[in-house]
Amino acid sequence: MSTPRVIVITGASGGIGRTCAVALSHAFPSQAQPEPLVLVLSGRREAELEATAKECREGTTVEICVGDVSSDKDVQRMFGTVKEKYGRVDLLFNNAGVDLLNSVPLEEADMSKFRQVLEVNVMSAVLCTSQAIKIMKEQSPPGGRIVNNGSISATSPRPNSAAYTVSKHAITGLTRSTSLDGRKYSITATQLDIGNAQTAMGGHAAKGCRQADGSIKSEPMMDVANVGKTLVFLAGLDPAADVLHLELLAAGMPFVGRG
């Protein structure tokens, strides 16, 4: 029996997560590869995860794990299921994220929402990375790839975005620490910083975003399918290749020179 290629995607109920799941299912079809593809889709909304699964290529093995990835118990249960059923993790895409305080000055921010942003954007990635490493370093051969959905806010924040910006700076630290500490187990880590992909969460930029000078301007957008293509590229790399940081931007968006 062939060893499966197991890919775990958090936040797979829509947006970038759904797009990437579908793209991977077409890039690595289960029946045509020496390594059958298994997609493990994580999210809080079962119906939406089922919808993602239906959009994947027919014949793709899909494991749906309903839960909150900022919960220790839910994350442990998910990876326990993955280890028991498939015995390995080849790629983890830490994609789950929220932005609950968009355009809210720090001094006016609801700190309960600020903490929630950190729990979802940071702790979910920390918890999933920890569990993935435990499996990756013990599987044969050891190794794997972890991709963290960052943001260009990790280097160039928008005005009044402290919670989201802090969370994405933390992702930079997690990515680099994982890359360093994972070397001895052949585990690599990538921070994928995305700018202005057309999704329900990020599509507001097309209607107008506040700029550093206080003005509101519509910004260029890109099809979210480009993110799927990028994850397919990363998933297809030889294990000997490490991509530490990758920025994927809508052409012409105000980033270089922002502020």
Which pLDDT tens digit goes with each residue over 236-248? 999 999 999 999 9
Given this model, what pLDDT does residue 156 score? 85
255 is a domain residue: no
Domain span holding position 141: 5-249
Q: Considering its fold, how many domains does the chain have in total?
A: 1
CB 136 within 8 A of CB 143: yes
Does 209 fall in a domain?
Answer: yes
Say what the pTM is. 0.93
Judge whether 210 lies within some domain: yes
How many Cβ atoms are within 10 Å of 242's Cβ, its own excluded?
15
CATH number at residue 28: 3.40.50.720
258 assigned to some structural domain? no
Per the domain annotation, does 166 fall within a domain? yes
- Residue 254 in domain: no
What's the pLDDT tens digit per position in 70-120? 999 999 999 999 999 999 999 999 999 999 888 899 999 999 999 999 999
Residue 21 lies in a domain: yes
Q: What is the mean pLDDT of residues 5-20?
A: 97
Residue 34 in domain: yes
- Mean of pLDDT values over 131-156: 95
